[in-house]
């Protein structure tokens, strides 16, 4: 059962490998793991989501009372997916708190975006009641990895204010050579890079992850575009020295899409 104790406690920081938006319609090992993570941690006062799908110039934060559910994917997906809604409230006060907290860049209050599928497709499974306020922070596409890590570090105090910091993307995300076959074995390079990221998380050596392209061919093939990778760095930036790590799941689907998810928490 979800911990609903209202006493102050440090919230974890969580990264979820969100995979295909069709996960929102499915019951599978990953969607069950997302729900199990939510059940295992205190109920957040609010959620700050850094999604791969709000990729911008500059940094924005949603500041509306009622963020819309954005169906930001192609028309070829199942029709029921376009009917799904995630009517979680927003939290303008949290948006202002984030704006005041971040020093290394200007954070613009945004009232036009909402919750894209990188956020709502996982929260639909983790918190199906949609009763927790959610804000999204955009990812500045013009910045290098270490910058995003430092921004995550600036956001870390929110964990002591009842806010769950959530990154949602994929460690390995190469759709161009993906194979829609549930039984397909992952590419060797995808497994190696997935393991490389896992070891850096477990060993608390985030600097190894700032530039995936510097890892060589494995990183270049696993991260052809940084949008799905960068949310990982925000979560690692929000890490405390006494945080433990729980990694589950960590497998790769469709040969080149990592579903690795993890929790950073003193209880882990």
137, part of any domain: yes
What is the number of domains present in the chain? 1
91, part of any domain: yes
pTM score: 0.95
Q: In the chain, what's the furthest Cα-to-Cα distance? A: 48
248, part of any domain: yes
For 141-160, write each residue's pLDDT tens digit. 999 999 999 999 999 999 99
Q: Which domain holds residue 47?
A: 13-265
Q: What is the mean pLDDT of residues 51-60?
A: 97
90, part of any domain: yes
95, part of any domain: yes
3, part of any domain: no
Q: Tokens standing for 5?
A: 């104790």
Which band of pLDDT confidence, cut at 50, 70 and 90, is reported for residue 197? very high
CATH number of the CATH domain containing 237: 3.40.830.10
Which band of pLDDT confidence, cut at 50, 70 and 90, is reported for residue 48? very high
Q: What residues form DSSP beta bridges with 245? A: 264
DSSP string, 157-198: GGGGGTEEEEEEE-SSB-GGG----TTPPPPHHHHHHHHHHH
Cα separation of 117 and 6, whole Å?
29
Q: Tokens standing for 49?
A: 């989501």
> 109: which DSSP letter?
E
245, part of any domain: yes
Q: Tokens standing for 65?
A: 């009372």
Q: Which residue has the tokens 């920081």?
A: 13
Position 1 pLDDT exceeds 50:
no
113 Cβ contact partners less than 8 Å away, ≥ 6 residues apart: 54, 60, 62, 67, 70, 136, 138
7, part of any domain: no
Specify whether the CB–CB gap between 141 and 98 falls below 8 A.
no
Q: What is the mean pLDDT of residues 159-185?
A: 96
């Amino acid at each position: 059962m979800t911990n609903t104790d209202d006493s102050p406690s440090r919230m974890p920081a969580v990264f979820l490998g969100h995979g295909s938006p069709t996960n929102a319609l499915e019951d599978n090992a990953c969607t069950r793991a997302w729900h199990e993570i939510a059940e295992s941690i205190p109920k957040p006062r609010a959620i700050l989501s850094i999604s791969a799908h709000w990729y911008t110039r500059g940094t924005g934060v949603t500041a509306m009372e009622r963020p819309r559910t954005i169906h930001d994917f192609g028309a070829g997906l199942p029709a029921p997916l376009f009917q799904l809604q995630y009517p979680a409230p927003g939290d303008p006060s949290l948006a202002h708190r984030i704006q005041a907290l971040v020093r290394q860049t200007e954070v613009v209050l945004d009232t036009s975006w909402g919750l894209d599928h990188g956020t709502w497709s996982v929260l639909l499974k983790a918190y199906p009641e949609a009763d927790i306020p959610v804000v999204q922070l955009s990812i500045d596409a013009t910045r290098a990895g270490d910058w995003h890590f430092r921004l995550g570090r600036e956001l870390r105090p929110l964990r002591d204010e009842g806010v769950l910091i959530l990154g949602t993307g994929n460690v390995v995300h190469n759709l161009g050579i993906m194979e829609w076959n549930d039984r397909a074995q992952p590419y060797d390079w995808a497994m190696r890079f997935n393991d490389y990221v896992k070891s850096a998380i477990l060993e608390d050596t985030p600097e190894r992850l700032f530039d995936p392209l510097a890892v060589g061919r494995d990183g270049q093939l696993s991260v052809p575009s940084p949008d799905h990778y960068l949310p990982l760095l925000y979560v690692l930036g929000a890490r405390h020295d006494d945080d433990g790590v729980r990694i589950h799941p960590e497998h790769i689907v469709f040969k080149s899409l990592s579903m690795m998810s993890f929790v950073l928490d003193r209880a882990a």
